[in-house]
A and B are shown apart, each in its own frame.
Chain A
């Protein structure tokens, strides 16, 4: 209080009343611009997280639908697609029968949408945005406006990608990897859309990555030391570094390919290239291999962008439902950081068949074998965390438990692909499809489902229905294996991953051909298995069981330092102070079986 106020105490109330009214006006002003600023152009990390979540779930559903059309064609070649066949357009599917050109578009866009518009925005944009500031005790992300821009660049990128379906000649059709010369010299107009869309998405993830790292480094609350960070935050930190440093080379590559397509340069086009029996009229002298290097320099770290947040979610769910500290928190952290570093020097194991030479092959085989070590450490630590626990088998935990063997299958089947001699046989077969889908679909996606069921009460204050959740889990587990397990057999038999008829015209595919219908039917049943989830997701918003602020009896700050759903801007009533590690479950000598991070324990 200033001396003037002390001298004239009678004036003080007037001043404060004016200030109060002023504050009220401000509040009122905020209220009036509410809807659009609160729900559309929000700068609150929680709302942006929800925006990311809803948008990415819609894109996941869309990408899944593209796959269902492909699976229909593979399971029933030449048959018109039921129900939606008429909507696909005469140019793509006359009479509902998918044309080969359209099949290629579906393949390219399924991959692009699932990776860049579905899984990463859900894992990083949604879960990262919503959970990380709460878990480290921060009032928001460090740069709220950048956060909003990041979402809208993502949204724009998504719109451009969707618009490419109605571009002349249809969407990009050169695979999600867009290898030139195919993508430059032959591809449709949609490829240009794809490149522009990618530039938007790269910008979005750059803004997001800067924001995440700054937030985690700068905004950790008092007492939140590095070794007290929940493992989920560590996984998001390493992920953000991968996004920050691996995406720019793809941006450079996208600019070069855009110039090749629009300006007629030839960065990726060698001299004397013959397309449709004619020599291509470009200056030439470029290198098609260069694109692959630039692309995989991003796309291999991208694999870890897909899987690290998933591991983070799994760690949270497992620690919470085993009621024990994680087994080996520090090895988990060090492995994750090491994994992040190594992921920058393994990219060319995607390119053993390009003829880049045995020296390069030997180097990248070695680094690939080395990077499998931290992955195994992480998986082993999570597995050993289960040992001797009395496990609560709720829906998030079921998904987390399924993640371990599913990701294990995905990881172990990757080893033969990382060794050039085995890769010569397996390259570009269905074995590769099976391998990375085990990592991403029953791996990462199951972890994301675990995260949705686990943090749903945080966002809504209600739990999702357990019965529907378990139906969703068991049906998904069975059918997703029905989709991907036979692909290993087809791949080992040598069936190429890009065949429009599923290999019907190849004699070496005849022995494994009958699996096509089985896998397709599994995929359709997998789609049905998502209906309980979709219903549950919406129904529980209004009808789910109301729960208290910490329904899982968790220790981390997002549950113990604020209500569920959390407060608006600012997150916390008072700044939380952290005294304990993240997973202090079943501490001996305590009545509760959990010790929140913000509760101080008396010594002795």
Chain B
């Protein structure tokens, strides 16, 4: 017996298994980042001597633009694939990967600037939270890049053998990618602007 609904949609839930799974995973991620943000709020409001450093807002704004663009390209790649245009899909998907890489490069430049100013995680709790939150977010970006790389490279075989499932995989990756983007949308104002 095969496992049902790996590709096709179960009529009464309207989902295939992987989509259900990715939504549940994202729910758990919401709780993870919820706890991280709560920690930030509690530490900041509970400490009268809180030091809020002014971080590099221009670079962070650039990174916000990059991530939002990558969210657009990931949707475009999924839509192209739904229209069975593999070449366009590959262009947009490669674009997503490059944008993600660009985000990490900018992040590395930022980290370097902070280190050179003598700002480290142990300097104070703002820096600690800053590195913990952006670090964990960065790990999520890197994780996404690994999956995108796999789906572009060895994983792309599936387009020929099981196209439906391949499109599903791109959709699930897209959902994850939007979440990673959304986390940054919260990180940017709360760490850089407020």
Contact = CB atoms under 8 A, between A and B. Distances in A.
Nearest to B32: A248
Contacts of B29: 248
A264 B131 CA distance: 13
A245 B25 CA distance: 9
B136 A285 contact: no
A209 B2 CA distance: 22
Interface residues of A, number: 47
Nearest to A143: B21
A142 B1 contact: no
Majority-rule SS of B interface residues: helix
Interface string A98-141: 00000000000000000000000000000000000000001110
A259 B121 CA distance: 9
Contacts of A294: 35, 39
Given A139-B2, A218-B15, A255-B136, A245 B27 contact: yes
A265 B5 contact: no
B125 interface: yes
A259 B20 contact: no
B28 interface: yes
B31 A263 contact: no
Interface in A254-271: 255-256, 259, 263-267, 271
Given A209-B24, A248-B35, A285-B50, A256 B132 contact: yes
A256 B28 contact: no
Interface string A202-233: 00001001110110011100000000000000
A18 to B, nearest CB: 20
A220 to B, nearest CB: 9
B140 to A, nearest CB: 13
Contacts of B35: 248-249, 251-253, 294, 297
A525 B10 CA distance: 54
A214 B17 contact: yes
Contacts of A570: 1-2
Given A210-B24, A259-B132, A267-B39, A143 B31 contact: no
A186 interface: no
Interface string B15-52: 11110110011011101101110010011001101100
Contact of B122 (A213, A218, A266, A293): A266
Contacts of A143: 17-18, 21
A217 B27 contact: no
A549 interface: no
A255 B134 CA distance: 13
Contacts of B50: 285
Contacts of A249: 31-32, 34-35
A403 interface: no
6 contacts: A210-B21, A210-B28, A218-B17, A244-B28, A252-B32, A253-B35
